[in-house]
């Protein structure tokens, strides 16, 4: 599992970790029943405090994304995929609402916004197919 912490992101590190795990589940990169790294292992990989990872894992457990497996650790819950897909859609929608609001306030026309979004999608799609 590959996670990346962005120090420039306003979101706390534990939220970044939780969100990225949710996105991995939503995309199928992490499947139901699959074990996530231990708190210590993920903290070492990300160079963060283990308490930060533990907090992210607690959040995900309370949301029903992760289940404790006695003596083994934490695994992705059987019904986590749909929950994570819904959460991912909600998060992206909230970010888009904020961004579109800023652009419209700055007098960017809806047509310009659509063009920009289309260009960005095409650029990212090309990059994805090249990697």
Distance CA 6, CA 22 (A): 16
> Residue 66 pairs with which residues in a beta bridge?
76
pLDDT tens digits, the chain, 131 residues: what are they? 789 999 899 999 999 999 999 999 999 999 999 999 999 999 999 999 999 999 999 999 999 999 999 999 999 999 999 999 999 999 999 999 999 999 999 999 999 999 999 999 999 888 888 87
Sole residue written with tokens 């992705």:
76
């Amino acid at each position: 599992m590959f996670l990346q912490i962005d120090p420039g992101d306003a979101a706390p590190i534990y939220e970044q970790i939780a969100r990225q795990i949710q996105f991995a589940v939503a995309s199928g990169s992490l499947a139901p029943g699959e074990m996530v790294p231990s708190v210590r292992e993920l903290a070492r990989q990300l160079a963060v405090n283990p308490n930060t990872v533990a907090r992210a894992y607690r959040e995900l457990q309370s949301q029903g994304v992760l289940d404790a497996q006695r003596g083994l650790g934490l695994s992705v819950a059987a019904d986590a995929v749909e929950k994570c897909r819904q959460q991912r859609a909600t998060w992206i929608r909230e970010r888009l609402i904020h961004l579109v609001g800023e652009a419209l306030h700055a007098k960017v026309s809806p047509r310009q916004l659509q063009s920009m979004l289309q260009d960005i999608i095409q650029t990212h799609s090309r990059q994805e197919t090249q990697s």
